[in-house]
Structure 1
Amino acid sequence: MGRTVLVTGGANGIGLASARAFHAAGDNVVIADLDDAAARAAAETLGPRAMGCAIDVRDRASIEAAFRVGAETFGPIGVVHANAGVSSMKRAVELTEEDWDFNFNVNAKGVFLTNQVALRHFLNHGLKGVIVNTASLAAKVGAPLLAHYSASKFAVVGWTQAVAREHAADGIRVNAVCPGFVRTPMQEREVAWEAELRGMTPEQVRRSYIEQTPLGRLEEPEDVAGVVVFLASDEARFMTGQAINVTGGVYMT
């Protein structure tokens, strides 16, 4: 496609799968991650038309710097996958303000800042850009032991819908993907936490995820990446403000 795409949280998991898919489609890819070394290493595996850089989505100046270096290398950024996210797991009655702030500062504020920098970049360059935000199955149905995480991801969907309405007249499209039980490093941590909290083994937790999934397997990052690339493509030119379920059927509304 030849566009410049920036992916936050791009060094592993869904972000890396998304970066690979955009690169395979012919786009230039900026892999931005809190782990600068991992971002650069990931870009090296893709070869030409890819670069890695540091980003902290909690900090506007860091996001602006990533946009600047990406645009200087490949030209103005026309697609942004705001994917960076965190999670922690605890019963709601035991949550601390630190738990709440940790999730909201990355998952909600990080999407707000990344999207706002992207919108200004698009408008300044006269681009009909595309944003795809990573929300979650937990943005559609409140998830036990993840109340704070769910709340932060519900915020992502609300923001996505509002911004899509505001900027439709500019030709800017904003959508979200809502993944389910995705096999990522984040899931590995969550499996261990849930096993401890529920008195189960990690394997029992994974089996419960599969049992809840009509398509009968854990989700892979590539399952999400394909939908992200579609939403950023001209094939989805009449889609904006959507929060697309990519859950294997766990949630169907």
Structure 2
Amino acid sequence: MTENKVALVTGAGQGIGRGIALKLAGDGFDIAVADLPFQEEKARAVVAEIEAMGRKAIFVAADVSKKADIEAAVDAAASQLGGFDVIVNNAGIAQVKPITEITEEELNTIFAINVNSVVFGIQAAAAKFTELGVKGRIISAASIASIKGFPILGAYSASKFAVRGITQVAAQELAPQGITVNAYAPGIVGTGMWDLIDEKLSEINGKPRGQNLKENVDSIMLGRIETPEDVAGVVSFFAGPNADYVTGQVLLVDGGMLYN
């Protein structure tokens, strides 16, 4: 096993993924920044940020809904960065729509990106950990919507409940190999995803743009919107030595919205 630690972060070109990639780089990881091909410019900017911190980084183009892309990304991380220790299945999409209006295509799309990708990531990482003899870490994106279903977020809530279940199952199955499997559950993060949710809620309930977001932020006990860095701190914990004895958990990082 090599001395350098290597992490692959999906959806790392912006938002929470970027925050996670930079935090893990600060923790001493070399980073494979995975994102869609059209996000390459943003992703390469993140690579440059990581290199400026004195760590190695590569960009890997990947559509996480495709198993072959995730397998190729894991292989690239291991071969180009010299090891493989952590996968962060971060990439995901949201959808704001009444349950009665969700189309078959929309349902298939959100599950392909939010759920299938987590299964594929677990499979690819577990295989690589086994190949390298590494007791690796698998960390996936859940949500407050994995603990409580939210109106107008039916498909999204369902996809995140699925991530929670998959995390529990994978943790039990992979524990004999020393692999831990956990997930982080953000609340309202100030990224493009919540801008989209606010916009769609406005169309549905007629409230002015920004009001739905403000009302949701007002419900946070700590009194402020969440940042990608808030989320990244929890991922850092799961990826580090202080979480050696933690597996199968979905940790809320929401400023005090839900209590589990």
TM class by shorter chain equals: over 0.9
- SS of the counterpart of 1:245? strand
Asked if the contact 1:43–1:52 (Cα under 8 Å) also holds between the matched residues in 2, the reply is yes
Give distance in 2, aligned partners of 1:25 and 1:69: 21
- Identity across aligned pairs (percent)? 39
Deviation of 1:37 after TM superposition, in Å, equals 3.1
Counterpart in the other structure of 1:30: 32
Counterpart in the other structure of 1:5: 7
> Is 1:93 aligned with 2:97?
no
> Is 1:18 aligned with 2:25?
no
Asked if the contact 2:4–2:83 (Cα under 8 Å) also holds between the matched residues in 1, the reply is no
Give distance in 2, aligned partners of 1:197 and 1:33: 31
User: How large is the RMSD of aligned CA atoms in angstroms?
Assistant: 1.1
- SS of the counterpart of 2:134? coil
- Stretches of structure 2 lacking an aligned partner (at least 5 in a row): none
Q: Of 226, 234, 240, which residue of structure 1 is paired with 2:233?
A: 226
- So what's the TM-score if we normalise by structure 2? 0.95
- So what's the TM-score if we normalise by structure 1? 0.97
Counterpart in the other structure of 1:200: 207
Q: Give runs of aligned pairs for residues 153-172 of structure 1, distance below 5 A.
A: 153-172=160-179
Give distance in 1, aligned partners of 2:249 and 2:139: 10
CA offset digits 1:60-117 (Å, max 9, x no partner) = 1111211122112111211011001011111111111111111101000011111111
> Is 1:175 aligned with 2:177?
no
Asked if the contact 1:131–1:174 (Cα under 8 Å) also holds between the matched residues in 2, the reply is yes
CA offset digits 1:176-220 (Å, max 9, x no partner) = 000000111111111111111111112211211112111111111
Give distance in 2, aligned partners of 1:160 and 1:120: 16
Asked if the contact 1:36–1:55 (Cα under 8 Å) also holds between the matched residues in 2, the reply is no
Q: How many residue pairs are counted as aligned between the two chains? A: 253
- Stretches of structure 1 lacking an aligned partner (at least 5 in a row): none
Deviation of 1:135 after TM superposition, in Å, equals 0.4
Give distance in 1, aligned partners of 2:47 and 2:73: 14
Counterpart in the other structure of 1:73: 80
Give distance in 1, aligned partners of 2:83 and 2:96: 38
Letter in 1 for 2:30: N
